[in-house]
């Protein structure tokens, strides 16, 4: 057994634990931030919808007003045509005025239909705006209720992460620089840079290790990497105690 290798096993085991604790805190930080950001994005989205609907409402209201004015003009034109009909002197004039009346009535019906459609569109938009304004109020209230709590929780997680990162740095310094660099490179790709060797298998990738290499690692003769996943392999420094015979 090589005492230096045995010590490195202990350091690697502690380093894996520390890195996993930090990773979980990082995941929690992301979740907390994303939860609040998600609500804020929903608020921005619904406000954009409200703005678009209000702009569309103004456009339709303007068009409806123009159609109403057009209908008034046609109504006046219809009244004049009726008066003209009363003054016709022969059938030819009467037929001409009659065609004029029919055309004006058709135009007036079209305008009235358009006004009716615009009124329905305005009613639907008004309801949609009210619904979205209620959503907006809900998002604002939710942000107000949770933002303080989330900010506090983020501070707690960041403080805890800072403490664990300090502990991790202290543990990492116990490894030779070359080993630490390799460990960090592997961890960047595979989340962990080392794994326990148990029953001849790497516990991270579950691949069998060549028996001769597994025996050398088990005796703490050498620090080696898993041939499959490249993680450093370690064994527990203190083997599990044998339960008393019964």
pLDDT tens digits for range 6-52: 899 999 999 999 999 999 999 999 988 888 888 899 999 999 999 99
- Report the C-alpha gap between 173 and 129 in whole angstroms: 61
Whether the CB-CB separation of 85 and 105 falls below 8 Å is answered with no
DSSP state letters, 77-121: HHHHHHHHHHT--SHHHHHHHHHHHHHHHHHHHHHHHHHHHHHHH
- Report the C-alpha gap between 217 and 223 in whole angstroms: 7
Q: Strand 232-234 and strand 201-202: pairing?
A: unpaired
pLDDT tens digits for range 182-202: 999 999 999 899 999 999 999
**What tokens were used for 205?**
């990738």
Which distant-in-sequence residues (6+ apart) come within 8 Å of 140 by Cβ? 43
pLDDT tens digits for range 82-118: 998 888 889 998 999 899 999 999 999 999 999 999 9
pLDDT band at 238 (very low <50, low <70, confident <90, very high): low
**What tokens were used for 107?**
């135009």
Q: Which long-range contacts (CB under 8 A, 24 or more apart) does 215-222 make?
A: 219/1, 220/1, 220/2, 220/5, 220/6, 220/9, 221/1, 221/2, 221/5, 222/2, 222/5
What does the pLDDT read at residue 85?
87
Averaged confidence pLDDT in the chain? 91
Label residue 22 exposed, middle or buried (CB < 10 Å: 0-12, 13-18, 19+). middle
Domains of the chain: 26-165 (1.10.287), 177-234 (no CATH)
């Amino acid at each position: 057994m090589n005492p230096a290798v045995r010590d490195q096993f202990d350091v690697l085991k502690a380093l894996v634990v520390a890195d996993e604790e930090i990773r979980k805190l990082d995941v929690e930080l992301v979740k907390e931030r994303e939860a609040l950001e998600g609500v804020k994005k929903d608020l921005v989205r619904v406000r954009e919808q409200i703005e678009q609907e209000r702009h569309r409402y103004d456009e339709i209201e303007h068009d409806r007003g123009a159609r109403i004015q057009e209908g008034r003009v046609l109504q006046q034109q219809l009244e004049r045509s009726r008066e003209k009909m009363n003054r016709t002197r022969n059938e030819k004039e009467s037929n001409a005025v009659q065609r004029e009346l029919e055309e004006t009535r058709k135009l007036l019906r079209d305008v009235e239909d358009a006004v009716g459609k615009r009124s329905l569109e305005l009613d639907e938009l008004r309801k949609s705006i009210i619904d979205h304004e209620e959503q907006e109020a809900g998002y604002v209230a939710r942000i107000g209720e949770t933002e303080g709590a989330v900010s506090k929780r983020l501070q707690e997680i960041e403080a805890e992460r800072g403490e664990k990162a300090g502990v991790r740095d202290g543990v990492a310094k116990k490894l030779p620089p070359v080993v630490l660099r390799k460990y960090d490179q592997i961890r960047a790709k595979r989340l962990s840079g080392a794994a326990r060797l148990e029953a001849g298998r790497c516990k991270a990738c579950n691949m069998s290790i060549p028996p001769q290499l597994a025996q050398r690692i088990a005796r703490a003769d050498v620090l080696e990497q898993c041939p499959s996943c490249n993680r450093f392999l370690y064994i527990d420094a203190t083997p599990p105690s044998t339960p008393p015979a019964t």
